[in-house]
Amino acid sequence: MSAPRRRIGMFGGAFDPPHNGHVALARIAVEQLRLDELHILPTGQAWHKARVLSDGPVRVAMSELAFAGVPRVVLDTREVMREGPTYTVDTLRELRQQSPDAQLLLIIGADQAETLHTWKDSAEIARLAILSIAARARPVSDAPPADISNLPPGFYQPINLPPIVVSSTEVRARAAAGQPIEHLVPPAVARYIAENHLYQLPPSP
């Protein structure tokens, strides 16, 4: 009898900053998807982000603090180190080469799944990994989004996530306004943001 295939999850994002919703999703994904490893991947030069992200090392440091207590997490910095735009398919190809016998699971939000068809080589993404889709705290259909509904059985797996109303945009706005963020991000991340004066608006001329 052959040994069960290792299950490796992949959870990417700007993490600018990582917040309590990110951490909750990581914990739930490890448990519900029965992951042997969960790679946390701060994005590098994100092709789909209109705004300029905080420096890669800063987001890596905050991610290390945020996810330190989540079991089976691996902080994976390959996308931050990669030159040029960051594409999910490139990371999946690399993970497939490194772990050819593992089962890869790509963890994305429902809003990301709805735009998956716009991602580079989206069909190959669906071949390389099981899509593990977590709904945000907003009404979404229980069915997979239309652009992936024709995938074979086993290529789509939901993550049952309780409502968590928090976003990195809100955290940045509150930090810029000098408002408390301790209830939105892990304590170590809140301290890091304060100590490094992140997201503060430049002084008026």
pLDDT (0 to 100) of residue 134 = 84
**Residue among 51, 36, 39 nearest 3 (CA):** 36
Measured between alpha carbons, how far is 174 from 109 in angstroms, rounded to an integer? Answer: 23
- Two structure tokens written together for 43: 């994005």
**Per-residue pLDDT, 139:** 40
Tens digit of each residue's pLDDT, the chain (205 residues): 567 799 999 999 999 999 999 999 999 999 999 999 999 999 987 655 567 899 999 999 999 999 999 999 999 999 999 988 889 999 999 999 999 999 999 999 877 887 888 889 988 998 999 999 886 544 444 545 445 555 555 567 788 877 778 999 999 999 999 999 999 999 999 999 999 999 997 655 5
Quote the CA–CA distance of 61 and 64 in Å, as a whole number.
5
pLDDT given at position 141: 47
C-alpha torsion sign, points 8, 106, 172, 28: negative
pLDDT at residue 146 in the model: 42
pTM of the entire structure?
A: 0.87
- Report the candidate in 24, 14, 44, 29 with the shortest Cα–Cα distance to residue 107: 29
